[in-house]
Amino acid sequence: MIRRMISASSLVLLASLAAADPASDYAENCASCHGEDRLGGTGPALIPETLGRMRGPNLEAVISHGRAATQMPAFADVLPAEQITALADYLHTPLDSIPDWGPDQIAATRWLDPGYVAADEPVFDADPMNITLVVETGDHHVSVLDGDTFEVLDRFETPFAVHGGPKFSPDGRFVFIMSRDGWVQKYDIWSLHQVGRVRAGLNSRNIAMSNDGMHLAVANYLPMTLTLLSTEDLGVERVMEVISKDGLASRVSAVYQAPQRDSFILALKDAPEIWEVATDPNAEPVYEGFIHSQEKDMIEAIASSEGLFARRRIEIAEPLDDFFFTDDYRFLIGASRDGERGVVVNLNVGREVAELPLPGMPHLGSGISWEKDGRRVMATPHLKEAKLSIIDTEDWSVLKTIDTEGPGFFLRSHENTPYFWADVFFGPNKDAMHVIDKQSLEIVKTLRPEPGATVAHVEFTRDGRYALVSVWEDDGAVIVYDAETLEEVRRLPMRKPSGKYNVWNKITFSEGTSH
């Protein structure tokens, strides 16, 4: 009897789902905010590429109950449960085709805040070089902290689902913030006011600032492009199609600034290549003078047809993700696709020069480096194994493996502290934060500031005196620690604070800060 009842109820559910028309439900209830083509409007894009972190019941719950502190309403009283299920499935269906998103489409989205007035000097008394921005993903805001008093000077709304670290202008005055659905926001820290926004892509990964502060590069998954913007007015300078030497279009995993090289470095997701793009838009394509002539095919320099932003192509054995750079930006370490090793590429000569055994999917983008016994070393967490790897960047040997209480995501340090901090982001011990001596490579203390909560991501004040730690929960906090005594100093309530970014540490490429 029970089997028959379950079977009958399943048939009813299947019949209800078959009768549902999710496309019509979307058009009637969602399109006004999220766009008729599901590519976003006042709300985010609702396509698989941007919904990757909201699978299954999570998306149904958002449709049913809305999203707190946003304009997303609840539809549980409007749509029956079976229609919400069908609608969630529909939103996870890929689009039939990738829409055009070139210079004209991007330019049409550019909006400059009419209420913005540039201040001649900061409108606050705090040290503008010791400002720390806290990204609060719980309700899509950023808090602007005075790094001396920890007073919140401003709290402004950001685009939906900020992704990747914000980037500061070289003078520390402006910051640029990007969302997963491609919106780039410019904010004036001196004036405590938004300057404007532009949508540089449809599904984007991160941004990078040129060394002179004039250009912003946006890495895109959808479309498969690199968008270059003017930091002055968010105008489009170029949309560069990312096509491999073999003619394969590729997503861009990430873009990085290489300040000593005056270039951007691109990680290609779908092709075994690394690109180096000149940050001077009028740079000529130049071969390195000391390379052998037979290597010119491997190190291909191409000027764009418009003469803007020359690019250089470095072929590698397989696609690499999640880069770490040595301090002089001569060497790049990338994670292999199988997540079992790291590959070292010499950017000057344009070829792989070493391989590192790094099982457990190293998170190289969070790697940090420092001097130990007169040699430069780097450390990386692992996303799938409870350990950290310490690597000698002179001979590329693994000096030590440090066992932790679980896989981690972020590492942070500062030149004025003897320690580096490592979270345990995944697993049952996610409430742990390890503090590790940079010379002995031993864990000196494990902090548990909020038992049972996710504790992650550390940032230091300008002088390294205080370490700021996130309680990564919706009803969370930023906890201020004395970086010497490791004692808690203050707790600031926040809405799911994720990354924290100190102006001085970022614009000076402070040691122990990932770049």
| Of the candidates 382, 415, 414, 428, the residue with the CA atom closest to the CA atom of residue 401 | 382
CB distance 418 to 438 below 8 Å? yes
Is residue 213 located within the same domain as residue 302? yes
Is residue 109 located within the same domain as residue 202? yes
Calculate Rg over the CA atoms of the chain: 24
Is residue 85 located within the same domain as residue 184? no
Q: Domain for residue 71, yes or no?
A: yes
Is residue 184 located within the same domain as residue 301? yes
- Among the three residues 285, 315, 345, which one is the final residue of a domain in this structure? 315
Is residue 247 located within the same domain as residue 159? yes
C-alpha span between 249 and 275 (Å, rounded): 13
Q: Can you give the CATH number for the domain in which 226 is found?
A: 2.140.10.20
Q: Domain for residue 225, yes or no?
A: yes
Q: Domain for residue 209, yes or no?
A: yes
Is residue 61 located within the same domain as residue 115? no
Q: Domain for residue 14, yes or no?
A: yes
Integer angstrom CA distances of residue 275 from 243, 261, 312: 10, 13, 6
The 10 Å Cβ neighbour count of residue 268 is: 25
CB distance 341 to 322 below 8 Å? no
Is residue 86 located within the same domain as residue 159? no
Its pTM stands at 0.85
Total number of domains constituting the chain: 2
What residues form DSSP beta bridges with 203?
Answer: 222
Is residue 116 located within the same domain as residue 214? yes
Is residue 157 located within the same domain as residue 295? yes
* Residuewise pLDDT in 10s, the chain (515 residues): 444 445 555 554 555 545 579 999 999 999 988 888 888 766 778 888 667 644 445 889 999 998 765 678 999 999 999 999 999 999 999 888 778 899 999 999 999 999 999 999 999 999 999 999 999 999 999 999 999 999 999 999 999 888 889 999 999 999 999 998 899 999 999 999 999 999 999 989 999 999 999 999 999 988 999 999 999 999 999 999 999 999 999 989 999 999 999 999 999 999 999 999 998 877 765 444 334 444 444 444 444 444 567 889 999 999 987 889 999 999 999 987 666 788 999 999 999 999 988 888 888 889 999 999 999 999 999 998 999 999 999 999 999 999 999 999 999 999 999 999 999 999 999 999 999 999 999 999 999 999 999 999 999 999 999 999 999 999 999 999 999 999 999 999 999 999 999 999 999 999 988 76
143, two tokens: 């808090």
Is residue 50 located within the same domain as residue 166? no
Tell me the residue range of the domain where 215 lies: 101-124+149-271+273-315
User: Angle 338-458-251 (CA atoms, 0-180°, nearest 5)?
Assistant: 35
Is residue 157 located within the same domain as residue 257? yes
Is residue 74 located within the same domain as residue 195? no
Q: Can you give the CATH number for the domain in which 42 is found?
A: 1.10.760.10
